[in-house]
Amino acid sequence: MNFVEVVGIQVDTRHFIGGERIASTETFTNTSPIDGSFLGEISRGGTAEVDLAVTAARNAFPAWAAMGPAKRGALLLKLAELVEANIENLAQLETMDNGSLLRSHRRGVMPRVAMNIRFFAEWAINELKHEVFETRGHSNNISWDPSGVAALITPWNAPLMLATWKVGPALAAGDTVVLKPAEWTPLSASFFADLTVKAGIPAGVFNVVQGFGREAGAALTAHPGISRISFTGSVPTAKVIAHAAADNLTPCSFELGGKSPLLVFDNADLDLAAELAVEQYDNAGQVCLSGTRILVHESVADVFAEKFRDRAAKLTQGDPRDPETDIGPQIHQTHFDRVKGFVDRAKTDGQSIVMGGEPNSELGGLYFKPTLVKNPAPGSEIVTAEVFGPVLCMQTFTSDEQALEMANGTEFGLAAVVVSGSRAHADRITKDLVAGTIWVNCFFVRDLRAPFGGSKKSGVGREGGNWSFDFYADVKNTVISPNGWKE
């Protein structure tokens, strides 16, 4: 069976290679986190399929690269329009496959998918100026040339959004692409592949190989025929990929996990702080950027905690298709067990769990209650490791110095949220925070022009605007002398 029908939408279960659908003899089972229902047997790729896809992408590369930004852009803008026309289908599919809220997919995530394509297509046309500056009369001419085949490995927490955050700039830069979506959420990438055909993107420019990380992912990242690896996922997997890339010296861009602080100062608007803190449960906590360590000034801790509790108590957990739902299920039994394991060990260690701390027994399945751990033992697992579930920790501080020390005191540096009532104070704090993105009195405001990535173990490199092109392209400087010209 080469197709599955999910909520009335037909999705091909085969790989998409060189413009064709190719089946593997082996498959893996895809399920829905909403209720565990079966969503299909999916082609399970390995070395052979990866070889085919990289070859197809390499063959398609010269013509795609030669088209230039404007012609590529016209096709990519068509693709963005097709995504927009399919927002409802994509939202329904993604919600079934990964259990994130349908209303978020409709309103925010899928429109963002279209933006990811459109923004980078337009940036390549309008913003990547071939800069010129002079050195003793010589001109430096900087260009961003297509580099080859980009290998893109993506996670399951925002499958198509995170995939197109890479696919958009890679294709706009003139690279061709092999995408390996996460094995728990293959459907949206397959549906998207059909849209690339409808948009007129030439065969082989965009390819999808489905399968497990240790099979398809490992074969792809070790392949000598690729020119770039962009990966979003966990730190341990990034290390494996870095080793695989080392033999070919393939440049890597890594966007990894976090244990981001959310700092609430004594001069903060505590209603705003509580609102922002509760937002950290978004996507059932399966967000790399989530500010999972709430650090609050001791003098306002009790008032803040009460406001937080009041707001958290209003969160509705349930079926992500229900518009009233705020928190859906965890993605997969394996992940659910992992999240529960963190909380169970915290309990065994005698940590104070003041909210949640257990599966939602009314709902059963993969639903884990929003959880708060108060004053976790410093250095303990629950406050240092990325849980990637609806689990927040709350700690107190008594000075800015201590707040900064705690905020910066993990191996991660992806994001930070600062809630402060004084601009001068917030400026002093943000200057000393180590993080790729800091939000002051807000959360999740993201502009595709801005750099995005992590410090320390949270990532390698930055993407967004020019940073994306600096990575996917071969940046070239041509120095031209004023002398030696005959015409």
Which residues are catalytically annotated? 255, 288
Other CB atoms within 10 Å distance of the CB of residue 401: 10
Sign of CA dihedral 2, 34, 311, 358: negative
The reply to whether 183 sits near ligand NAI by the rule CB under 6 A is yes
Which among 30-38, 131-139, 259-267, 384-392 is the span making contact with Mg ion, rule CB under 5 A? 30-38
DSSP secondary structure letter of residue 317: B
Rounded CA-CA distance 243/327 in Å is: 37
The one among 160, 182, 209, 415 contacting ligand NAI by CB under 6 A: 182
CB of 402 to ligand NAI, least distance (A): 27
Residue 114 sits at φ, ψ, to 5 deg, of: -60, -40
Q: Are 425 and 270 in contact (CB under 8 A)?
A: no
Which option in Mg ion, ligand NAI, none does residue 221 bind, with CB closer than 5 to 8 A by kind?
A: ligand NAI
Strands (E), 287-422: 293-297, 352-355, 371-374, 391-397, 412-413, 415-419
Rounded CA-CA distance 364/35 in Å is: 9
Nearest to 369 by CA among 332, 322, 315, 406: 315
Residue with tokens 């489905």: 210
Is the CB of 154 or the CB of 176 nearer to ligand NAI?
A: 154
The reply to whether 100 sits near ligand NAI by the rule CB under 6 A is no
Is the CB of 183 or the CB of 279 nearer to Mg ion?
A: 183
What residues are paired with 452 via a beta bridge? 463
The one among 45, 99, 148, 213 contacting ligand NAI by CB under 6 A: 213
Site string for ligand NAI, 309-338 (x = CB under 6 A): -----------------------------x
The one among 30, 100, 176, 188 contacting Mg ion by CB under 5 A: 30
Q: Are 170 and 248 in contact (CB under 8 A)?
A: no
DSSP secondary structure letter of residue 201: P
The reply to whether 210 sits near ligand NAI by the rule CB under 6 A is no
The reply to whether 183 sits near Mg ion by the rule CB under 5 A is no
The one among 237, 290, 292, 396 contacting ligand NAI by CB under 6 A: 237
Rounded CA-CA distance 16/288 in Å is: 28
The reply to whether 326 sits near Mg ion by the rule CB under 5 A is no
The reply to whether 217 sits near ligand NAI by the rule CB under 6 A is yes
Residue 44, by phi and psi: left (phi above 0), alpha (psi -120 to 50) or beta? beta
Q: Are 16 and 216 in contact (CB under 8 A)?
A: no
Nearest to 301 by CA among 394, 401, 371: 394
Which option in Mg ion, ligand NAI, none does residue 97 bind, with CB closer than 5 to 8 A by kind?
A: Mg ion
Which option in ligand NAI, Mg ion, none does residue 240 bind, with CB closer than 5 to 8 A by kind?
A: ligand NAI
Residues 121-180 that bind ligand NAI (CB under 6 A): 153-157, 180
The reply to whether 468 sits near ligand NAI by the rule CB under 6 A is no
Which option in ligand NAI, Mg ion, none does residue 320 bind, with CB closer than 5 to 8 A by kind?
A: none
Distances in Å between the Cα of 363 and the Cα atoms of 39, 99, 369, 372 are 20, 14, 10, 20
Which option in ligand NAI, Mg ion, none does residue 463 bind, with CB closer than 5 to 8 A by kind?
A: none
Which option in Mg ion, ligand NAI, none does residue 288 bind, with CB closer than 5 to 8 A by kind?
A: ligand NAI
Which option in ligand NAI, Mg ion, none does residue 30 bind, with CB closer than 5 to 8 A by kind?
A: Mg ion
Which among 23-31, 84-92, 222-230, 281-289 is the span making contact with Mg ion, rule CB under 5 A? 23-31
The reply to whether 218 sits near ligand NAI by the rule CB under 6 A is yes
Q: Checking DSSP bridges between strand 371-374 and strand 415-419, what pairing results, if any?
A: unpaired
The reply to whether 466 sits near ligand NAI by the rule CB under 6 A is no
Which option in ligand NAI, Mg ion, none does residue 161 bind, with CB closer than 5 to 8 A by kind?
A: none
Site string for Mg ion, 135-164 (x = CB under 5 A): ------------------------------
Q: Are 229 and 153 in contact (CB under 8 A)?
A: yes
The reply to whether 386 sits near ligand NAI by the rule CB under 6 A is yes
CB of 277 to Mg ion, least distance (A): 29
Is the CB of 222 or the CB of 406 nearer to ligand NAI?
A: 222
Residue 366 sits at φ, ψ, to 5 deg, of: -100, 20
The one among 254, 281, 308, 388 contacting ligand NAI by CB under 6 A: 388
List Cβ<8 Å contacts ≥24 apart for 194-199.
194/12, 195/79, 195/82, 195/83, 195/86, 196/79, 197/19, 198/82, 199/75, 199/76, 199/78, 199/79, 199/82
Which option in ligand NAI, Mg ion, none does residue 425 bind, with CB closer than 5 to 8 A by kind?
A: none
DSSP-assigned states of every residue in 427-460: HHHHHH---SEEEES------TTS-B--EETTEE
Rounded CA-CA distance 463/192 in Å is: 22
Q: Are 393 and 383 in contact (CB under 8 A)?
A: yes
CB of 68 to ligand NAI, least distance (A): 32
Q: Checking DSSP bridges between strand 9-12 and strand 412-413, what pairing results, if any?
A: unpaired
* Binding footprint of Mg ion on the chain (CB under 5 A): 30, 97, 184
* Binding footprint of ligand NAI on the chain (CB under 6 A): 153-157, 180, 182-183, 212-214, 217-218, 221, 232-234, 237, 240-241, 255-257, 288, 338, 386, 388
